[in-house]
Amino acid sequence: MTELSVLVGGRAGDGISNAGAMIAQLFNHMGYFVYMYTDYPSLIRGGHNYALVRAADRPVGACNNHIDYLVALNQETVALHLPQCPDCTFVANEDMVKSLPRGQAVPVNAILKEEAAPPITGNSAMIGAFAKAAGIPWEIVEKVFHRHMQKAADENLRVAKRAYTLVQTFRPIPLLSGPACSLLSGNEAIGLGLAAGGLDTYIAYPMTPSSTLLHFLAGNAEQLGMRVIHPENEIAVILMGLGSAIAGAKTAVGTSGGGFCLMTEGLSFAGMAEIPIVIVVSQRTGPSTGLPTYTGQADLRFVLHAGQGEFPRLVAAPADPGEAYLWSTAALRLAWKYQIPAFILVDKTLSEGSYSVDPDRLPDLQVSEPALWDGQGTYRRYLDAPKGGISPLAFTGRKNATVKINSYAHDEDGITTEEAALVAKMADKRARKGEELREELNRLPCISTGGKKDAPVALLCWGSVGNACGEVATDLGLRVIRPVVLSPFPDRQFADACAGVERLIAVEENATGQLVSLVKEHGRNLDDTILKYDGRPFSPEELKRRVQEVLTL
């Protein structure tokens, strides 16, 4: 097994994320699988930022605490991370780091002066120095700069080459034979998945950690063939999204916890008026403002129950970009087929993390298109169709169709009513859509299982935590059970996945065990819980230690 970790750290505004991304690409082009996590406070400038890149000869989706190479852009990075690297290799900017326990210092300012290069190219000197210290062939550095640097690649390469020639190879990293993969963040995968599902319009107000989805889709809107709109707040986002869907445009909106609070009245409107829409909720640490740039899994119960009244909804919680792509495509199709709100529930770890992805190996979740009105007879927007209560769709402006959308209790034509029997009938119609959705989901892989699949001890988890759980389960010979769909809960598949399990240990990044309580509602008690709620994701090292502690009880 071959793997290593590199941390590049400095101040906000020093281009830490971009430097980490370039180092990740170096490993990618050396045949490694890569995962990159970024840690930063909610500051425009200042504060400590770092990117942690893990490269391995197998797929990875979590970072360890141990560091093999530390690229320090300032003194604080050395001081803060020294305990993580008792034997690591240091590469430091000598203009900013005056005390270095060991390793090599790079005269960045002198290089920039000699090359007449602007300060913005300084990180290229550090990347070049790291590459030489790690024994990475210069040909790979050239390839990565030309392919992944958006502008001034030649100028940055000159700076990188000067640093490359100044340092010594200290700890060479072996080349692997694997092909370079796509490196995608979770938010990029969601955007591509929505586009594959036929998204016409994405509407969002920026809110970390969902913001990069807005940026990605806005930057590629023309190429992806969609509209991207940034209104004044999240109330406008959801109402504009519902109007767009009513007009016939496949629409998604995105936000995080505080923004979703503002959307909940519109969500109930979607439930009563049977308006299809996808809502991407990327969790961060709450309540309220909490830790805006850190992760958490504390919004599961909120998303499951948000909005007044009762109506069916889909909630899917992918663990990695592959699942994010597949379930974003499926969520859009299912939302339109059943005319319901559908959620993609992720977190900062997945939204902003970068992963190796091979798009050609992703399966397709087969979901059929919605039933459209055939144009015959009088159109009834809320026709109580015998098959699952799903009404044929027509949109405003369709010839010979009067489309009435109503948030009040209404009849099949969308006319307001308070007649008891009719109100109950329409409630039953909406409930039958939920049962029809549950039956369709039984044909899709709603539960992921991993590790040793016949082990009597299993880890139960959801979302991005599944990556650390998978590694720990493999090391300890445990089973992993991870519901991908959380509403409607896939009882049948969950029971099958739990067959033979004698001890079930829940692992979540919240303080109350929200999946634990959901599973209990569906008839399964948990034996132990391992919770983390400090805004930082589980590392495989930490989780393994805590699982071992539980197993000794």
Instruction: Count other Cβ atoms within 10 Å, centred on residue 522.
Output: 12
Question: Is the bond preceding 321 in cis, omega lying within 30 degrees of 0?
Answer: no
Q: What is the pLDDT along the chain (553 residues), one digit of tens a residue?
A: 689 999 999 998 889 999 999 999 999 999 999 999 999 999 877 789 999 999 999 999 999 999 999 999 999 999 999 999 888 999 999 999 998 888 999 999 999 999 999 999 999 999 999 999 999 999 999 999 999 987 889 999 999 999 999 999 988 999 999 889 999 999 999 999 999 999 999 999 999 999 999 999 999 999 999 999 999 999 999 999 999 999 999 999 999 999 999 999 999 999 999 999 999 999 999 999 999 999 999 999 999 999 999 999 999 999 999 999 999 999 999 999 999 999 999 999 999 999 999 877 787 788 888 889 999 999 999 999 877 899 999 998 899 999 999 999 999 999 999 999 999 999 999 999 999 999 999 999 999 999 999 999 999 999 999 999 999 999 999 999 999 999 999 999 999 999 999 999 999 999 999 999 999 999 999 999 999 999 999 999 999 999 999 999 8
Q: 59: number of CA atoms within 13 Å, CB side? A: 16
Strand order in the sheet with 3-12: 104-106, 89-93, 69-72, 3-12, 46-56, 33-39, 354-357, 182-185
**Distance of alpha carbon 107 from alpha carbon 92, whole angstroms:** 9
Q: What pLDDT score does 369 carry?
A: 82
Q: What is the dihedral of CA 351, 441, 434, 411, to 10 degrees?
A: 100
**Distance of alpha carbon 239 from alpha carbon 144, whole angstroms:** 43
Q: Could you tell me whether strands 503-508 and 528-531 are parallel, antiparallel, or unpaired per DSSP bridges?
A: parallel
**Distance of alpha carbon 341 from alpha carbon 125, whole angstroms:** 49
The residue among 194, 527, 188 whose CA lies nearest residue 357 is: 188
Q: What pLDDT score does 358 carry?
A: 83
Asked whether the whole model's pTM tops 0.85, one would answer yes
Q: Is 483 exposed, middle or buried (0-12, 13-18, 19+ CB in 10 A)?
A: buried
Domains of the chain with CATH codes: 3-166 (3.40.920.10), 184-361 (3.40.50.970), 447-552 (3.40.50.920)
Q: What pLDDT score does 365 carry?
A: 83
Q: What pLDDT score does 508 carry?
A: 98
Q: Could you tell me whether strands 457-460 and 479-483 are parallel, antiparallel, or unpaired per DSSP bridges?
A: parallel
What one-character DSSP code corresponds to residue 372? B
Q: What pLDDT score does 464 carry?
A: 98
What one-character DSSP code corresponds to residue 361? G
DSSP 42-68: S-SSEEEEEEEEEEESS---S--S--S
Q: Is 222 exposed, middle or buried (0-12, 13-18, 19+ CB in 10 A)?
A: exposed
Distance between start and end Cα atoms, the chain: 31
